[in-house]
Amino acid sequence: VRVKFWGVRGSIPAPGRDMARYGGNTSCVELTLSDGSQLILDAGTGIRELPRFDVGAPHTTHVLLTHLHLDHIQGLMFFAPLFDREADVTVWGPPWFDSPLLSRLGRYISAPLAPVEIRELPALVEFVDAPAYFNVGPARVEARLVNHRGPTLAYRIVDDGAVIAYIPDHEPALGQRIDDSPGEWISGYSIARDADLLIHDAQYTDDEYGGHLGWGHSALSDTMAFARRSGARRLALFHHDPKRSDAEIDELSAQAVDLAGGDLEQVFAATELDTLDVSR
Ligand SMILES: [Zn+2]
Ligand SMILES: [Zn+2]
């Protein structure tokens, strides 16, 4: 499975000279599955940069939304396939009682916030409340609610034996001791266990976290404890705070490598436009 980061920032886009190396676009990760098909994780502003479909290739794609905070859906209205009459797009997202995903997203893709109405998108689009398990091409996807503000899914994607866990907004330490609670009590554990690549919230330093308890994000040492408990092989620090400069992210990721102490094969800060291959 090939992974490409199109947006790695949390909360709000963060353009600027001091942010340019890691990138300022909000959450969007593209997976190219073992059969060449495309699966997109979140529709932050990074999704705008995805290339158009090749002429002659199937115009089919799947977008998996973790939740509907603006930094994860803002790019939807600028996602070219939605305006392509030949495209077939399935958008998956968290269920919320009897309110379908279409009507919840329609609060954003409608007047006065948008120049288009969600029911008028030219593509063939289907909005689906994600069940616990579903298939996308050759991949088996598991979706689970995790600790964040509002209904928020984490996704586990298994394709050709490779396991990718995507948990961009997550506060596993809330009401939980990550180091000594039983695994199944820890939010997100079943999604991340033994993942070949864990893409995880790393919004706050430990110092900052004290002032943001309950905001739905992780302190670095909680991210590291979560990765260690879940047995992930590689960890991508993700959802960088919008005020975090490149130099500060360098520092944070050096700290993360120290904290990992050899428990993980690789720890790195996700960088816009970087790609990596993940296999078993
Ligand atoms: Zn977010
Ligand atoms: Zn969020």
For residue 71, give the ligand nearest its CA: 1
Mean pLDDT computed over 92-98 = 96
Residues near 250 by beta carbon (within 8 Å), at least 6 away in sequence: 269
- Give the per-residue pLDDT at 21: 98
Confidence of residue 52 (pLDDT cuts 50, 70, 90): confident
How do residues 109-163 score in pLDDT, each as one tens digit? 999 999 999 999 999 999 999 999 999 999 999 999 999 999 999 999 999 999 9
How do residues 223-280 score in pLDDT, each as one tens digit? 999 999 999 999 999 999 999 999 999 999 999 999 999 899 999 999 999 999 999 8
CA of 217 to the centre of ligand 1 (A): 9
CA of 53 to the centre of ligand 2 (A): 29
Whether the per-residue pLDDT at 96 is higher than 90: the answer is yes
- Give the per-residue pLDDT at 280: 86
CA of 47 to the centre of ligand 2 (A): 17
- Give the per-residue pLDDT at 206: 97
- Give the per-residue pLDDT at 57: 84
CA of 55 to the centre of ligand 1 (A): 33
Mean pLDDT computed over 37-47 = 97
> CA–CA separation, 235 vs 30, rounded Å?
17
CA of 151 to the centre of ligand 2 (A): 9
How do residues 53-68 score in pLDDT, each as one tens digit? 888 888 999 999 999 9
Whether the per-residue pLDDT at 42 is higher than 90: the answer is yes
- Give the per-residue pLDDT at 209: 97
Whether the per-residue pLDDT at 28 is higher than 90: the answer is yes
How do residues 195-221 score in pLDDT, each as one tens digit? 999 999 999 999 999 999 999 999 999
For residue 152, give the ligand nearest its CA: 2
For residue 151, give the ligand nearest its CA: 2
For residue 203, give the ligand nearest its CA: 1
**141 burial type by CB count under 10 A (0-12 exposed, 13-18 middle, 19+ buried):** buried
The structure tokens 């340019």 sit at 20
Confidence of residue 73 (pLDDT cuts 50, 70, 90): very high
**Strand residue runs (E) in 50-193:** 60-64, 88-93, 124-129, 133-136, 139-145, 153-159, 162-167
Which tokens in the block code for residue 185? Answer: 């009590």
Q: Would the pTM count as exceeding 0.95? A: yes
CB 40 within 8 A of CB 80: no
If you count them, how many residues does the chain have? 280
- Give the per-residue pLDDT at 225: 97
> CA–CA separation, 240 vs 108, rounded Å?
24
Confidence of residue 106 (pLDDT cuts 50, 70, 90): very high
- Give the per-residue pLDDT at 58: 84
What percentage of the chain reaches a pLDDT higher than 70?
A: 100
CA of 239 to the centre of ligand 1 (A): 7
For residue 12, give the ligand nearest its CA: 1
Which tokens in the block code for residue 268? Answer: 């790195």
- Give the per-residue pLDDT at 56: 85
For residue 168, give the ligand nearest its CA: 1
Residue 248 zone, left/alpha/beta (φ > 0; ψ -120 to 50; rest): alpha
- Give the per-residue pLDDT at 268: 98
Bond prior to 112 in cis (omega within 30° of 0): yes
- Give the per-residue pLDDT at 235: 98
- Give the per-residue pLDDT at 102: 97
Residue 258 zone, left/alpha/beta (φ > 0; ψ -120 to 50; rest): alpha
CB 197 within 8 A of CB 187: no
